[in-house]
Structure 1
């Protein structure tokens, strides 16, 4: 490759070297035009070169942007450090989860004071038994800039542990094995796995997925015999269609090992008996267009959550000897106003996780009598979810609960007596009292008449006079619902007069499957206009004003941020865009990038003109124009496995060249992290403190 002209000149020299300068000068990325022609349309990308990860010029540009960020943020550096200490001070550092019972042991994780990572533990037979440490991530991750345990699984005889680890943040996990009797690691280490491992019933055979190192899609299932050379592992299944991904599972009954193949709109389940690990995988029901399904086993039946002829899903059962649709018997019918999200099977009870009017509900049905009841939670906006329930023969349901004012809580619910027992509410230090805060559920009306739910929280005394600052958040893609949940860090905003709003916009699945369908493919723009219509409503109702309203979104929510600042920049004082997916057309045309071909059903296939034109009409990078933009903080990670770092880098470079305002535009790249940011419970607080300090800088908040 021809050596490029060094960038560390002119503006770069100022940004990197003039620490005493009164005015920071932003970096200016070199313009190197590249013509991109598709379907008769030619686009010019002046910053395409930034995707050259190994190019020193690219690294220099990212480092220059980081230096500029540091210089601009220098006036609030002390406040950022105060925020870090404040948020960290709310965390009970020495802490542990509520143990759950599985195969004769109680499993839990705990944190030691000052430690970044969890310690995975268990006790035999009783929570009062001596502790056995399975994994100490602090020891394993010592000296590494990034460390994460992916998945872990104990063998049926309770003596062996399979676990995976990622030290780069590319989600390419190395699979390891540990003898729990001796504490020693087995010599084999299997790289580039999906992070999950499933034991067969023989306590020596393990199934795992392998990823394509370019696309990062898991596409193969291998069978490994403990103690053998991984090079000799048997290929059990290979997925040839790169629009599909895969996951491994073991049924709650432990009888079956499953391979779940899934794309956006269709899925397929293959399985074999755990007692026969060398057997052939059976197809439960062949994949077909517009059919998603999941399978669980109990007794002599399979239970299937399916959207076949039922957009909001229904539940059916079928004999294990006949999985054809002709044998399916409906247990829970399709309902237009209720989305069936998940299920949990017990010997005597069926528990369903359902979503109605955007809120999660838990229903309990007695298998014998057929009687059904719902748990009552008593708040206008909350999140209740089925937790870890590994055993069939129990009348007790373990579930979790949180709201915008209630810290994460773990409950046991007696399905016979209907009695709830609070096992733990996450302790929040620093004098927090939930009664000091108010949560609301309100609705904005979109331009087409659709009512958009908004969950709002603020501290008592908040005045709706149009002067208060507000942070408005949304995601709105993949059918992922954004649930109202408590955040200890968010108190640093609420205690300084902020309100916080979650907009449950189309593209998520809060209001059922149609809510998702109405915010994808050729209807994707509904997601963006829903968000801006929510902004207009919040301003109209005097929760905030354009001078004090901030917008936030990450990943596909970063796409949302990019779209709304092109459409309605005048609505926002500032925007926080995390790992934003902003170069939609170019990315979706590159089949070598992670998560591209598997997402054609979400965004469309740009090789087809109808989708190409529509995506081009909203792609944030392609629609930057000469206009004033809000203040913006854009964050990314060099090793991001989902939205490559060069998308936000290119976006910022082009915005700098075209915007007509003098508002702040900052890019911060974590040179050691990926899509989820820094690893560790304290390192990640720096990311939040940085975002808050940016908003406080713009508002003149000094303490």
Structure 2
């Protein structure tokens, strides 16, 4: 009966108070020092510079005060607790990953039986059987679930298994090693690795790491000099051998890959372009395979002296090339599978077949080719959505994949290469939720310059175009990242309460190849904001919603998107969530790996023109201060975010709160022991979305009627 009482109270309170904040909030005063930078003759104010020091006492005091203001506000929302309870119920279902047959001949997969903070890794002799054993439980690595498993890698003989972890959401990686058969933890332990797994070769593995950072600045100082080491099992990290380093280019990333039965080592070099260079180890030295970072190039595998490559060189939508190990330079590459209509997202080897995953209009399609480049067949997928394949060159009969969509959780299938048929291995079920009640359609709208842009709309069947439907619009638009259909249990809470979820495929992503990506970069970045604004206008003009019911959200580069579009069109939105966003475009390149984003953004140090362009849309620097009403805004960030440092959100929130933008709340939610988002424990995910959805419904003036599990509103 308790949830029903909460709902009844919520309905009464919202009726009387209008479900929105009606008074001004007393925000904490942020530390400031009056800093003004001169950039190519332009005076650029940065008065909240002290907030960049995230360990300073003044910053810590401000963070504590801001969190108190935010929690005081959220605690007054009468249905917040009921939303958290409903989200807990919606997430309490079994989720299983795709089985993978490893070098020891056994199958491994992840599973969360409901509300565990982290998924558990299981091992079995038969993935179709219920018999299995627990191999590794990341929940045992911490008391609060903030240690996340980020990767598993088995030695070529299957004797050892290396696993990588992240603590509190940081990008810093630690590597541990187990005896695969006994599951005994070995003494080997690697620290300060980053953007790296364990790449096995013989009795050890390669990994990429940075020099140990300055104490107290582990999560903010710029990372430079990425190096590759070789670690031999049974030895301390201090004895590891430096294999690859490039001190002349401290802002490069370096990643190792070992391919082929007769192991060949490759090093990918990135960080200063849209793609990567590629080098191959040969006779104790290095031979160039791909000479520059202008195109993405990756090694699929090495077979019978031939290197199979996936590349964007000469193909905006990517193609497959082949080169001889004896003569691997780009000038000697031969085309194996030409560029197709869709964007080639990935290629996997299974025995003597290549499985190619193409993206067409933001959904996945899979084709099978032989090693001589001839197409054999298409995989008949059981639906439209996003697919993830698991194949093995050693065990070609073992092909598994998952398929998910906006209205279907990830379902696992086994594919039979001989018959071309798929059989269901595992399908999740969410108690009390009928997914057939919802529908997804894809539409194309026209952006400001006439470009057609796709968008997915997911909503409850029977929704009318009355201009009063709440809509939650999500976008990203950058770094060659494509937004394809995917399921979210949290999102179901919105859908069952009559909210439409709209996901748009903005320029800057990879949906239509490199030209689509390039059209949203550097001095064309405004195209991305125009696309997002046009998406919102389309939803209004088509009668789905109005500005009084429109919420927008984006994270990281998408946080920048939300911040910029709110400043440009504050009248168009009612609620906004800029999450872990890049908000200071004049200084982003000075923190951790921010310099890596220059290929998409450009930097304020590049030229007067680039600096002026960045200043023209930088969310921190373009907040209005003239009484223009802004939507209700809740910024989100985390104390261990060393991808987009929290200083971005700190300074932006301080500027918002100090500006004259009307009485709608401008809050910041600062999570602790959390990072950019990956590996966040289930408990924290539920807490965060309970706050986000509570804030949204409250400021839309809507009571979420399903929070008790009752479909009535």
TM > 0.5: yes
Deviation at 1:484, TM superposition (A): 1.4
Q: Which moved more, 1:84-93 or 1:64-73?
A: 84-93
Deviation at 1:546, TM superposition (A): 0.3
Distance 1:611 1:316, change over 3 A: same
- The corresponding residue for 1:619 is 618
How far apart in 1 are the matches of 2:141 and 2:99?
23
How far apart in 2 are the matches of 1:598 and 1:23?
40
User: 2:88 aligned with 1:88, yes or no?
Assistant: yes
Q: Of 329, 346, 350, which aligns to 2:350?
A: 346
Contact kept, 8 Å, 1:637 with 1:669, in 2: the verdict is yes
- The corresponding residue for 1:18 is none
Contact kept, 8 Å, 1:198 with 1:250, in 2: the verdict is no
How far apart in 2 are the matches of 1:22 and 1:390?
61
Question: What whole-Å deviation, never above 9, does each CA across 1:245-276 have from its counterpart, x for those lacking one?
Answer: 13333437583343322233231223459xxx
User: 2:401 aligned with 1:399, yes or no?
Assistant: yes
How far apart in 2 are the matches of 1:130 and 1:400?
21
SS in 2 for 1:644: coil
How far apart in 1 are the matches of 2:210 and 2:242?
13
Distance 1:364 1:164, change over 3 A: closer
How far apart in 2 are the matches of 1:369 and 1:537?
43
- The corresponding residue for 1:179 is 179
How far apart in 2 are the matches of 1:25 and 1:125?
60
Distance 1:682 1:271, change over 3 A: farther
- The corresponding residue for 2:39 is 38
- The corresponding residue for 2:277 is 268
Deviation at 1:360, TM superposition (A): 2.3
Contact kept, 8 Å, 1:270 with 1:281, in 2: the verdict is no
Contact kept, 8 Å, 2:594 with 2:643, in 1: the verdict is no
How far apart in 2 are the matches of 1:259 and 1:324?
14
Map 1:245-644 to 2 at 5 A.
245-251=253-259, 255-263=263-271, 264-272=273-281, 280=284, 282-288=286-292, 290-300=294-304, 301-335=306-340, 337-367=341-371, 370-377=374-381, 382-394=384-396, 397-430=399-432, 432-588=433-589, 590=590, 593-607=591-605, 608-626=607-625, 627-644=628-645
SS in 2 for 1:439: strand
- The corresponding residue for 1:668 is 669
Contact kept, 8 Å, 1:222 with 1:235, in 2: the verdict is yes
Deviation at 1:606, TM superposition (A): 2.0
- The corresponding residue for 1:209 is 208
How far apart in 1 are the matches of 2:466 and 2:229?
61
Map 1:107-256 to 2 at 5 A.
107-112=108-113, 114-124=115-125, 131-142=132-143, 144=144, 146-194=146-194, 196-198=196-198, 200-202=200-202, 204-212=203-211, 213=213, 214-216=221-223, 219-240=226-247, 241-251=249-259, 255-256=263-264
Question: What whole-Å deviation, never above 9, does each CA across 1:66-117 have from its counterpart, x for those lacking one?
Answer: 11111111222x5222222212212345554343212211112233565322
Q: Which moved more, 1:144-153 or 1:548-557?
A: 144-153
SS in 1 for 2:90: coil
Q: Which moved more, 1:448-457 or 1:193-202?
A: 193-202
Deviation at 1:654, TM superposition (A): 0.8
TM-score normalised by length of structure 1? 0.89
SS in 2 for 1:566: helix
Q: Which moved more, 1:313-322 or 1:388-397?
A: 388-397
SS in 2 for 1:176: strand
Question: What whole-Å deviation, never above 9, does each CA across 1:425-477 have from its counterpart, x for those lacking one?
Answer: 232222x2222111111111011110110100001121111011000000001
Deviation at 1:172, TM superposition (A): 1.3
Contact kept, 8 Å, 1:248 with 1:259, in 2: the verdict is yes
How far apart in 2 are the matches of 1:541 and 1:128?
50
SS in 2 for 1:444: strand
Question: What whole-Å deviation, never above 9, does each CA across 1:505-537 have from its counterpart, x for those lacking one?
Answer: 101111221110100011011000100011101
Question: What whole-Å deviation, never above 9, does each CA across 1:554-607 have from its counterpart, x for those lacking one?
Answer: 11000000110111110101101111111111223x2xx122222221111321
Pick 1 or 2: higher relative contact order, CA cutoff 8 A, min separation 6.
Answer: 2
Contact kept, 8 Å, 1:315 with 1:331, in 2: the verdict is yes
How far apart in 1 are the matches of 2:139 and 2:261?
33
Deviation at 1:372, TM superposition (A): 4.2
Distance 1:692 1:86, change over 3 A: same
Deviation at 1:128, TM superposition (A): 5.2
Contact kept, 8 Å, 1:216 with 1:641, in 2: the verdict is no
- The corresponding residue for 2:107 is 106
How far apart in 2 are the matches of 1:72 and 1:331?
60
Report the count of equivalent residues. Answer: 668
Distance 1:684 1:544, change over 3 A: same
SS in 1 for 2:91: coil
Deviation at 1:295, TM superposition (A): 1.3
- The corresponding residue for 1:25 is 26
Contact kept, 8 Å, 1:383 with 1:483, in 2: the verdict is yes
Contact kept, 8 Å, 1:175 with 1:195, in 2: the verdict is no
Contact kept, 8 Å, 2:201 with 2:258, in 1: the verdict is no
